[in-house]
Chains A and B, each alone.
Chain A
Amino acid sequence: EAQVTQNPRYLITVTGKKLTVTCSQNMNHEYMSWYRQDPGLGLRQIYYSMNVEVTDKGDVPEGYKVSRKEKRNFPLILESPSPNQTSLYFCASRGTENTEAFFGQGTRLTVV
């Protein structure tokens, strides 16, 4: 089954404690992205990657890091989480431009 898998689904952490949210896709897609969803703001792109070792900033990259060492994986790293990073996070992948993006189930992160 074609899917994008994120882990964990839920995470509560404390300010400053580094964390990683994993994302994996099994569709051999070139493009992968991370989004955050906040009330009234919709989905905002954090980072995206158009291929292995190629990443670029989206609209809200501050406080986040990503890496794309393999085609299937695109982890999101918060080196020093802060409460304003409390949000619902989605990973997505696309095969090419002008095709639909497939989304993971989401990770609800709470930073206290």
Chain B
Amino acid sequence: DQQVKQNSPSLSVQEGRISILNCDYTNSMFDYFLWYKKYPAEGPTFLISISSIKDKNEDGRFTVFLNKSAKHLSLHIVPSQPGDSAVYFCAASAQGTDKLIFGTGTRLQVFP
């Protein structure tokens, strides 16, 4: 059973526009959520995170929104740049464990 779901395998966005990547989860015990970016032949790199006590966290061009009632989070990238083209994974964890559960990833392509 997939506890963290990214239903869009790919997304294509024009440079300068907003990219919105979505993630849904099923486990109500999750209290910490992260987004990772992955380029080919490299390990995932941390992008931004949010605790369940917040509904928004912002870092430069990246903003993560959390809707606990809907068990949904999203990553907004504004403005999108060609260098943002990568696979994005959302991940979630529950307090008291080191189990980080990842989604299946969304491949973002930003074209000029």
Contacts and interface: CB of A to CB of B under 8 A. Distances in A.
A48 B34 contact: no
13 contacts: A40-B104, A42-B104, A45-B99, A45-B100, A59-B101, A90-B43, A90-B44, A92-B43, A101-B34, A101-B100, A104-B43, A105-B42, A105-B43
B81 to A, nearest CB: 22
Nearest to A38: B104
A43 interface: yes
Given A44-B102, A97-B97, A106-B42, 20 more contacts: A31-B98, A35-B102, A42-B6, A43-B89, A43-B91, A43-B102, A48-B99, A50-B98, A58-B99, A59-B101, A90-B43, A90-B44, A92-B100, A94-B98, A98-B51, A101-B46, A102-B46, A103-B45, A105-B42, A106-B41
Interface of B: 6, 31-32, 34, 36, 41-46, 49, 51, 89, 91, 93, 95-105
Interface string A56-74: 0011000000000000000
A42 B43 contact: no
A40 B46 CA distance: 21
A24 interface: no
Interface of A: 4, 31, 33, 35, 40-45, 48-50, 58-59, 90, 92, 94, 97-98, 100-106
Contacts of A101: 34, 46, 100
| Interface of A, helix, strand, loop or mixed by DSSP | strand
